[in-house]
Amino acid sequence: MTTGSFRNCARLYGAVSISSGVPDFFRGPQYRKVAPRWDMLKLSREEYDYEFGLILEKLNPEEVYRDLMVLGNNKPILLCWEKPNTWCHRRRVAEWLENGLTDIEIAEYGLSRSEVLPYFPPPEHIGPKQLELF
């Protein structure tokens, strides 16, 4: 399983939309259980994160993973609109799955997992060496 944007992955094998809407050219499956609601797109980042957290709280990561694996023919690429390494809900979904399941790592298409920026960046006052302690 990987994540990607419609720009670079929409025509690839396993592409699955997890967004509220899709581009006209996208013909793949859509999985809206982990898509933000349209009204959320106008919220502040803080409000959006809170509302999206409520959506994820109601879901089971194992069931979502199984659904996505079926829709993506066992190699799903979770798609939405944003460019790679841009703040985007697909990274939050990926991290939610990583945290809720064992032995799963979800990178952005074309990047290693270590090259993918986190959804919630570490606090600015904590340096990289200090983060290793946690």
**Confidence tier at 124 by pLDDT (50, 70, 90):** low
Please say if the pLDDT value at position 81 is more than 90.
yes
**Confidence tier at 119 by pLDDT (50, 70, 90):** very high
Nearest of 72, 76, 71, 74 to residue 94 by alpha carbon: 76
CA angle (89 as vertex; 8, 65 as ends), nearest 5 = 85
For the chain, the residue count is 134
How many other C-beta atoms are found inside a 10 Å radius of the C-beta of residue 86? Answer: 11
Q: Among the listed ranges 5-19, 82-96, 102-116, 120-134, which one has the minimum average pLDDT value?
A: 120-134
pTM assigned to the model: 0.88
Cα(15)–Cα(3) distance, rounded to whole angstroms? 9
